[in-house]
Amino acid sequence: MISCHNCHLVCHISPLNNPSAMACPRCGSRIHRRKPNSISRTWALVITALILYIPANVLPISISTTMGNSHEDTIISGVIYFIESGSWPIGLIIFTASIFVPVLKILVLIYLLISVQKKSSRRPLDKTRLYRMVEAVGRWSMVDIFVITIIAALIKLGVLVDFKTGPAAVYFGAVVVVTIFAAMSFDPRLIWDNIKEYHE
Amino acid sequence: MKKKIIIACHECDLLHRIESLPEGSTALCRRCHAVLLSHKKDSLNRSLALNITALILFFISNAYPLIEIKTEGICRATTLMGGVRNLYDQGFWEIALLVLFTAILFPGFEILSRLYLLLPLKFYKKPWHMSLIIKFIQKIKPWGMMDVFMLGILVSVIKLVKMVSVIPGPSLYSFFALIFVVTGAASAMDFHSIWEKA
Ligand SMILES: [Zn+2]
């Protein structure tokens, strides 16, 4: 028996049928026993995210000009600036969203991938919870991109201050998108495949 | 929910037989605690009302300026779309698209598609291409980021207050209300009962 990804209808499948060509009788979606190529796809996306994360942190994310002085900020220097200048709540939000969450997400996915590949059967419930947390929290990384959107639209071509988006924003946006795809392509049921039986 | 159903947990694949699920209760997987089913009270009417409210607020939020700033006699205001436009003009079309989709288009599509499903069902009709629309809603759901955008607005305001005087625009209030209405609208939807009804 296989459950449909889309409408969750449980379908009976005889072993004669080719499961890769099955469609759900209720909603017509293709039915897979597991998400296709989940592990290799997730690995590819996680590694892509890691690579993109380098230019996202090295290049400037914003360039502000105040009274003729141009000042470039990377994600990290922006966080440090806010903490030093006393607005530590903003520093903390940006640090959590732009540094802590993406790194945590990439590390947790790598840990889950390795543990599934090693056929580990330890603490599946905790691993599932970890996966759910990573899946829910990823979108909040977009905060800094939205902040840049708003500020850049308001402060431009002023006499005293000018604010421009830096090239790191493109890479950082890509990191967020790629890690969301990575979390989506990981199939949490793989965690449970190594648990043979369930005893109540 | 009268008839008993068999359902596989979508997170760990354990099969469950649910005999009956009283209104307002939720069935959890007994192995991994994922939500299997939740039978929502008066789901159709509640989600219809919330989605219509959300649609109205969505239009207000996008039609008026979000924030206005004042510095040395210069006033400058921006709408959500204005922010996207500015990124595009600066040459950052990738981010412009990302913001356009996550903060405007996907949340808008989600509200519209939910209304597309709910309105015919209210009149006991099956919506056209129902399964396609449900699939679409579930696909775009992770990409709607209005709540994250709201946090982005708050952070921007705190940042801007240090440099200029900030006046909240009319959209800001409706956007704030929209976040709550949309969250309610999403949680009031009961796809299982939609499948059963149609
Ligand atoms: Zn489960």
Is residue B40 pLDDT above 70, yes or no?
yes
pLDDT for residue A64: 83
> What pLDDT band is residue A31 in, cutting at 50, 70 and 90?
low
CA of B135 to the centre of ligand 1 (A): 21
Reading the block at residue B31, the tokens are: 């192995």
> Does any CB of chain B come closer than 8 Å to the CB of residue A128?
yes
Q: Is the same domain home to B22 and B119? A: no
Stretch B104-133: mean pLDDT: 89
Do B100 and B10 sit in the same domain of this protein? no
A/B interface, count of CB pairs below 8 Å = 169
pLDDT score for B169: 87
Q: For position A199, what pLDDT does the model report? A: 46
CA distance B177 to B108: 15
What mean pLDDT, rounded, does chain A reach? 83
Give A116→chain B minimum CA distance, Å: 13
What ipTM does this complex have?
0.89
Do the chains contact at A2 and B72, CB–CB below 8 Å?
Answer: no
- Is it the case that residue B130 has pLDDT exceeding 80? yes
Q: What is the rounded average pLDDT of the residues B18-42?
A: 83
Where are the domain boundaries for CATH 1.20.140 in chain A? 37-199
Residues B104 and B147 in one domain: yes
| A121 touches B: beta carbon within 8 Å | no
Domain hosting B23: range is: 1-39
Measure the CA dihedral B107/B111/B114/B115, to 10°: -160
Q: Mean of the pLDDT values across residues B145-170?
A: 89
What gap in Å lies between CA A126 and CA A101, rounded to an integer?
Answer: 19
Which chain B residue lies closest to A129 (C-alpha atoms)? B32
Chain B, nearest residue to A155 by Cα = B76
Domain match, B78 and B28 both: no
Residue A6: the pLDDT is 63
pLDDT band of residue A2 (cuts 50, 70, 90) is low
Q: Which of B98, B117, B192 to mutate to test the interface with A (most CBs of A within 10 A)?
A: B98
Shared domain check, B174 and B100: yes
Token pair recorded at residue A21: 């060509």
CA A93 – CA A78 distance, rounded (Å): 12
Hey, are the CB atoms on A146 and B84 less than 8 Å from each other? no
Q: Is the pLDDT of residue B131 over 90?
A: no
DSSP state, A62? E
**Residues facing B167 on adjacent strands:** B68
A81 to chain B, any CB pair closer than 8 A? The answer is no
Pairwise pLDDT comparison (B179 vs A160), residue with the higher score: B179
Contact: B131, A26; criterion CB under 8 Å: yes
Looking at residue B44, its pLDDT comes to 86
Mean pLDDT taken over chain B: 87
pLDDT band at B72; cut points 50, 70, 90: confident
CA of A107 to the centre of ligand 1 (A): 24
* Per-residue pLDDT at A24 exceeds 80: no
The reply to whether B94 and B123 lie within a common domain is yes
Q: What would you measure as the largest C-alpha separation in chain B, in angstroms? A: 69
Same structural domain, B76 and B124? yes
**What confidence category does residue B90 fall into, taking pLDDT thresholds of 50, 70 and 90?**
confident
Same domain assignment for residues B85 and B122: yes
Residue B169 and residue B112 share a domain: yes
**CATH hierarchy code of domain A37-199:** 1.20.140
B54 and B25 share one domain: no
Which pLDDT band holds residue B3 (cuts at 50, 70, 90)?
A: low
Quote the number of domains for chain B.
2
Whether residue A153 contacts residue B86, with contact meaning beta carbons closer than 8 Å, is answered with yes
Sheet with strand A69-73: strands edge to edge: A69-73, A62-66, A161-165
In B, which residues are within 8 Å of A163 by CB distance? none
Q: Mind telling me how many Å the CA of B137 is from chain A's nearest CA? A: 10
Cα B33 to middle of ligand 1, angstroms: 6
| Confidence label for A158 from pLDDT (cuts 50, 70 and 90) | low
For B65, the token pair is 């300026």
Q: Give me the residues of A, 138-157, that contact B with CB < 8 A.
A: 139-140, 142-156
A144-153, A179-188, B2-11, B46-55: which range is least confident on average?
A: B2-11
In this structure, the answer to whether residues B2 and B96 fall within a common structural domain is no
* Residue A120 CA to ligand 1 centre (angstroms): 18
Residue with tokens 């040459």: B91
Burial of B102: CB neighbours in 10 Å, binned 0-12, 13-18, 19+: buried
Average of per-residue pLDDT across B108-118: 93
Residue B49 sits in the same domain as residue B35: no
Contact A145 B99 (CB under 8 A): yes
Strand ranges inside chain B, DSSP E: 5-8, 15-18, 25-28, 35-39, 67-71, 74-78, 165-168
Which of A21, A162, A12 is closest to B164 using CA atoms?
A162
Over the stretch B91-100, which tens digit does the pLDDT of each residue have? 899 999 999 9
pTM: 0.86
